[in-house]
Structures are given as structure tokens and as C-alpha cells.
Amino acid sequence: MKPMLPTLSFDVPVGEEWRYEVKYDGFRAILEWDQNIMLSSRNGNPLDSLFPEIKNFLLSHEEIFRPFLPLTLDGEVVLLANPYKSNFGEVQVRGRMRSDERIHEQSSKKPCHLMIFDLLRLKGENMSNQPYDKRRNQLIALFQETGLPLDPQMDSDRLVQLVPSKSDFNSLWEKVTLFDGEGIVAKKQNSSWQEGKRTEAWLKYKNFKYVSCIITAYEKANGYFSIAVLKDSEPVQIGTVLFGFKPEEKSALFETIKQNKLSEDKRFLYAAPAICIEVKYLELYQGELREPHFHKFRFDLSPDACTFERFLQQQKNLPEDIQITHPDKPLWGEPLIQKMDYINYLRDISPYMLPFLKDRVLTVIRYPHGVVGGEAFYQKNRPDYAPDFVQTHVEEGIDYIVCNNLKTFLWLGNQIAIEYHIPFQTIHSKGPSEIVFDLDPPSKDAFQLAIKAALLIKTVLDQLNLISFIKTSGNKGLQIYIPLPENKFSYEDTRLFTEFVAQYLISSDPDSFTIERLKKNRGSRLYVDYIQHSAGKTIVAPFSPRGNPRATVAAPLFWDEVDETLSMERFQITSMVQRIKKDGNPFAEYFSAKEEQLFEPVLNFLKGQQSKV
């Protein structure tokens, strides 16, 4: 079955007759489920073996789906980078894999999702001739009855999810640009689904970025223009452009290159780096622009303004009300990280970090002049100049910032807020949302003590059937998290447990661990601060950068990484996002673990022991 295809539009489709969906960049897929499951690409090629996790998920829920079979759904196989963007590069790599072992490894470690946006057959009845709005209503009902997600959930193990349909273009477009998504597909409410047809009843409007570049060559055989930006005064090729020129523009450009060529061979006319143009594109992939289109000539620019640095800064669109000041300001020295690099880190890490900031009063440490040699200060109160989208919560007379959205996060980044510290509970919680053990060795050289303590605690937690997660502090220690269900336990409850574990560590190795609060009495032992886990206290958030010269991050770890080879320097701003792309998110199941946590039996045992004393 050949899918219906949208037509590219450079004008926003507006009007009551349109509905809007996020456009994901993955593999277009038709799911047909009769007696067997068949997942096929837009060209009719089977996708089942490339993405076995999707078929396995469907088969494991066959009882739920059986009343709706035979069933045909239209969608996209994606690897979600955030709710509005698929990771194009990684899903392409998955699609090229041929090793069963490698496919199995990746499908287990980083499963793809099948995002569904249309219903073509339900209980054997052809739905494609019905109008879009009726198909959508029945599709939503199908997802509700099967208990599947009605919106994108990147860490969910329910691998078939619904692409929401919206009536407000502007609000959806703001989120797509903010989260660096590919674009939007606009669909007419009265449109039927037409197999194999590219139609103007569906229009794709893409989130193009813009780069100012120079033309370096003209390819004779196909009319492509090679484009580049300057790095250290040398041209760096970023691809070719063919589309977007008016006939007279293309003709004038060719004649200019021909008359002023530097040299010529059988394939190319080579141009002097003198002609500046602006090109719109989707993203940089494997060193070249994806879907480049000529936008306009830049006669106002000299070639030396078309720099690689400027290109990097322009790679992601920001909303109009987010202005990045002094993007070239260096914040760290080694590795060199400029302000725009830092903003891009926050943007990329936001899907993983924002859930930990959500609904929690925030204390940040700001470094207005950069980390190296710059003075820092704590900020709790929302400043008067904060924009309206910054939410707050008053607690103990302090008007705290609550970072519940990406705009606030990027605004804080522009304020050069480097460290993000949060309490152990949300603004809606009556007690702790988690237990955290902060394993703080006496010095960076004593990091092995934190590793030893973490492994001892892990042994206890495993024996008690408690689900735990671990991260670096980003400075010199480790922090173990035990997620708890909301509003179920008090700090008095958790104190019983943290003290129990602290005493266990000391009894296991009194020469290595202590609960002595006075530093002068600790010697070279690691301080187990079980009292720190209490109301009003804070801890650095997962994925938060730290204000030290090494640009390290409070990095979530997989437990099998915690051994004598572990080092803090492996987890820096410059490597964190790539680490998640390669290995996955160690805290992916953190929030789902809350309801599975068997803490109550442990607490009841400790209370029983306490009553005997």
C-alpha cells in the first residue's frame, strides 16, 4: 500500500478547515494487521525485521487489539529526541542495520516508537473514504479503548502512540520551533485518504533554518551550486543547492560565475569566494545541509561575514521572545564552551532534565562572567525583569522560579544560570518525592570512597527489592536516588531508612565512612549525610552542569558503570547529549518506578524494629 503524501508549502495554511499535526522525520510506515502483522515503508519494503520492538509490542498486546482487527494504521517510525522531534540521524542508522544481533541490541537499548496519525481500516471496514475529522475521532477512540498514549511519550514502553491533532497553528508551531522539530503537516478536515497521491489537502510546512554562505563552484552536469562557510578564513563545504531559484536568478548567478571563474575542469566551474547567498535548510546531517533551498542574495554581506561560527549559532531557531545576548561569550575555557554552545546544550538536554525541574522551586547559581575566574551568586527570587512566561511559587516569603517549560529554561541559560538545585519534593507534595543519598568524599582524590559506598548501598537496596538510580554529583561524589510515590511518605519515614543505611555503612567499614558532622573529626572518611535529606534542603538536578573549570555534569549513570574505572571527567557538557544518543538515558524509567517502589514493607519493618527499642 502506497501512502498519501503531503505537498510542501512555504505559506502557513490557515483557516477553520485545517487541523495541524507535528511532522516527524523517520520512516513512513503502514501497519496492516490481519492474521499477521505487516509493517511496510512508503515504498512497500518490510520494516518488521528492522524495528522488531514494534511488532513485539503489538504481539504482547494482541488480546487488547483483537476486537479491532483487521486493522490498518498510517504513521511514522521514529526515535523521539523530544515530543516534537525525531532523531533523523539515529533512525536512519537503525534503518540501515542488517545484523540481527545489532538490531536486537539497539531495539532493546533505544526502542523506536510508531507514531500513528491516521486510521485506514477498523474491524475490517475501509475508513479511508471518510473525512479526516471522522477518521481522527475513531482513531482517538481506538487509542482510548486500547490504553495507548494519546500524545508522544519518549520514555514510555508503550511503543505505539498517537500524534495529536491541533486547531491552533501558532501555539503548535511555537513548540515545534522551540524543540527544533521538523515541521507541521496541515490537513483539511473534510479530506479523504487517497492511496499513493501527493495532495494539497495535506500540506507540510517545515521548520527551516537559515545560513549565510558563499558559492564556491557550479556543477555543469546538474546545475548544482556548491556552498561553504569560512572557518579560519578557509572555506568549509556544507553542501549544494539547486532548488528555490527563480529562472532569472539562476541564470544571472551562472553567468556571474562563468565570467569571473577562478578555474574550470570537466565537472566544475570554480568561483571566487565573493557571492553571498542565504539558504534555508532543515538541519546539518553528515556534514551537509538537508533539504537546502535558495532564499535570497545577500548583497549586504561581505564573504568574511559568512563564518562557520555564525552558521553554528543559527542552526536552531528560537522564539521571538527568547533573545540570546553575547552568544560568543566564553563560559568555560577547557573545553572551550561559548554561551551559544551552552544554550544548545540546555535545549538538547531539556527532554531529560526538565521532568526533574517540573513543579519544583528552583535555586540557581549564576556565573555572569563565565565559570573560569568569574564570581558566582545564588538566585532564588524571580527578578523583576523576568518575562511573563516564567512561572513562580511563593514559599517562606521567597518568590521562587518554577522551571516548567523550555522557554524558562533557555531564559535562565541566557542569564548564565549554570547550576540547578531542587528540593526533594514538588510544590504539590506533602512529603518527599524521592530518597537521595549524597555520598560526598573528603576530596576529589578520594572518589573511590564514594564508589565503595555506592556499591555497598546498592547491595542493600537490591536485597530489599528497592529500585534505585545513581548519578555523579558533577564535582567529587555520587548520589543515589530511590523514587517514591507522591504524598505517601513523610520525611520522618525516610529518616528512619536513611539512618539505617548510614549505620549499615559505618558498621561495614568504620575506617571509610562516618556520620560525624564536624569536618575536623572526619579525617579521611566519607561523610554519609543522612540528615541532609529533609524539607527545605536541595540537591543538584540530574543533567545539571556544574560551575567548575572542567564543565562536568551531574550525570545519570548505569549501575554497571559504577566501578573503579569511573571518573567525573567522562561526563562533560560537550559529551552528555551524544552519550544519551549512543547509550540511552540511565534515568529513563525513573518516574515509572515511583508506583512500583516497594518501600512501605521496608518502612514497616524499620518501624517495628524501632518500637522494640
* DSSP per-residue string spanning 439-486: EE-SSGGGHHHHHHHHHHHHHHHHHTT---EEEE-SSS-EEEEEE--T
**Closest to 60 in 3D by CA, of 147, 179, 129:** 147
pLDDT given for residue 613 in this prediction: 59
DSSP state of 509: -
**Closest to 414 in 3D by CA, of 364, 458, 451, 453:** 364
What is the value of pTM for the model shown? 0.82
Mean pLDDT of the chain: 94
* Residue 396, C-beta contacts closer than 8 angstroms, at least 6 positions apart: 536
Say if CB 499 and CB 533 are below 8 A apart: no
pLDDT given for residue 25 in this prediction: 93
pLDDT given for residue 484 in this prediction: 97
pLDDT given for residue 531 in this prediction: 83
* Cβ count near 254 (within 10 Å): 16
**Closest to 229 in 3D by CA, of 330, 334, 280, 304:** 304
The DSSP bridge pattern shows strands 469-472 and 556-557 to be antiparallel
Residue length, the chain? 613
- Within 13 Å of residue 588, how many CA atoms lie on the same side as its CB? 19
pLDDT given for residue 28 in this prediction: 96
Ramachandran class of 93: left when φ > 0, alpha when ψ lies in -120 to 50, beta otherwise? alpha
How far is residue 31's CA from residue 436's CA, in Å, rounded to a whole number?
Answer: 44
Low-confidence ranges of the chain (pLDDT < 50): none
Say if CB 142 and CB 33 are below 8 A apart: no
Which residues are the active-site residues? 23
pLDDT given for residue 587 in this prediction: 95
**Please, is 193 exposed, middle or buried when counting C-beta atoms within 10 Å of its C-beta (0-12, 13-18, 19+)?**
buried
pLDDT given for residue 239 in this prediction: 96
Ramachandran class of 196: left when φ > 0, alpha when ψ lies in -120 to 50, beta otherwise? left
Q: Domains (ranges, CATH) in the chain?
A: 5-203 (3.30.470.30), 209-313 (2.40.50.140), 330-423 (no CATH), 434-601 (3.90.920.10)
- Within 13 Å of residue 356, how many CA atoms lie on the same side as its CB? 26
